């Protein structure tokens, strides 16, 4: 990948330029138009409507019954989920994708496997950027300390860190922020493997995230409200995803085993 060019490119950018560059790179990798992705405007509107209704429902429940930690805990939880969703996808996604390919007809499996390079490229960027950023920073710091007896080489290392690597760390943080939302929304470009795969992954993701969230306890309110709040989100996402699969099958001829 062209990560080396990005390291050198961000050195002369200002803070806003860094984040614009990071957003553009994240969009190009995780949200670029795909030949396998079906962009149906009706599906998009239904997904957005479900998200809006879910957000409004959460707002009403919190306003009526409150939440431990107040609104700051709500925003912190939302920010945490932004990064948790891609990490969960990285963990459970390979199992789902492998099962999806195994479920496909035998004659289609080699083609589906050959298309894995597109999601793997996205995964490589998502994992590689923070690894390179943090690993390079630690490595340069250790190199600078090892050159403590050599003033000029040590100065060169620290100047390089100040002019190139610190800006790159800022760029990497911005890239990870913008990439996390796109990676979760487009399921690491798995539509390139099969147009139905993102909907299947979305169902698995929302239920796994809900089980992870169960460790924080159920929402406040009567028992019926707690159960409805706990199951409402994943059930509604599952319903929308099943409807999406139906639309893909009836309107575009895209079948899970097709």
Distances in Å between the alpha carbon of 145 and those of 8, 131, 140, 242?
23, 21, 9, 57
- pLDDT on residue 101: 93
| Cβ-Cβ contacts under 8 Å for 34 (sequence gap 6 or more) | 118, 189, 191, 192
Report d(CA 137, CA 159) in Å as an integer: 13
- pLDDT on residue 186: 87
> Tokens in use for 42?
């009706």
- pLDDT on residue 6: 63
- pLDDT tens string for the chain (258 positions)? 566 566 556 655 666 778 888 899 999 998 877 777 788 889 889 988 988 888 888 788 777 776 666 666 667 777 677 778 888 889 999 999 999 999 999 999 999 999 998 899 999 999 999 999 889 888 888 888 887 777 778 888 888 888 778 888 889 999 999 998 888 888 899 999 999 999 999 999 999 988 887 766 667 778 888 888 888 889 999 999 999 999 999 998 888 876
Half-sphere exposure of 97 (CA within 13 A, CB side): 24
Residue 159, Cβ density class (10 Å: 0-12 exposed, 13-18 middle, ≥19 buried): exposed
- pLDDT on residue 13: 62
- pLDDT on residue 74: 63
- pLDDT on residue 203: 93
- pLDDT on residue 83: 78
Rounded to 10 degrees, the C-alpha dihedral 147/152/155/161 comes to -80
Locate the domains of the chain by residue range. Answer: 41-116+193-258, 121-187
- pLDDT on residue 141: 83
Distances in Å between the alpha carbon of 109 and those of 46, 193, 204?
31, 10, 21
| Cβ-Cβ contacts under 8 Å for 18 (sequence gap 6 or more) | 10, 167, 170, 171, 174
- pLDDT on residue 163: 79
User: Whole-prediction pTM value?
Assistant: 0.81
């Amino acid at each position: 990948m062209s990560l080396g060019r990005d390291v050198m490119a961000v050195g002369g950018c200002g803070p806003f330029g860094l984040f614009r560059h990071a957003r553009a790179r994240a969009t190009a990798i995780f949200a670029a138009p795909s030949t396998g992705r079906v962009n149906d405007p009706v599906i998009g509107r239904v997904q957005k409507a479900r998200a809006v209704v879910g957000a409004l429902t959460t707002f009403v429940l919190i306003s009526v019954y409150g939440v431990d930690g107040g609104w700051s805990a709500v925003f912190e939880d939302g920010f945490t989920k932004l990064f948790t969703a891609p990490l969960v996808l990285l963990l459970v996604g390979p199992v789902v994708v492998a099962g999806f390919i195994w479920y496909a007809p035998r004659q289609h499996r080699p083609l589906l496997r050959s298309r894995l390079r597109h999601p793997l490229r996205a995964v490589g960027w998502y994992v590689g950027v923070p690894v390179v950023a943090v690993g390079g920073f630690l490595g340069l710091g250790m190199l600078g300390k090892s050159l403590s007896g050599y003033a000029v080489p040590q100065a060169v290392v620290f100047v390089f860190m100040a002019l190139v690597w610190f800006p790159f760390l800022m760029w990497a943080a911005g890239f990870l922020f913008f990439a996390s939302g796109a990676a979760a929304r487009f399921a690491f470009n798995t539509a390139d493997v099969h147009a139905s795969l993102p909907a299947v992954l979305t169902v698995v993701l929302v239920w796994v995230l809900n089980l992870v969230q169960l460790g924080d306890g159920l929402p406040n309110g009567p028992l019926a409200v707690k159960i409805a709040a706990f199951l409402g989100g994943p059930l509604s996402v599952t319903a929308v995803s099943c409807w999406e699969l139906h639309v893909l099958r009836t309107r575009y001829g895209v079948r899970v085993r097709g």
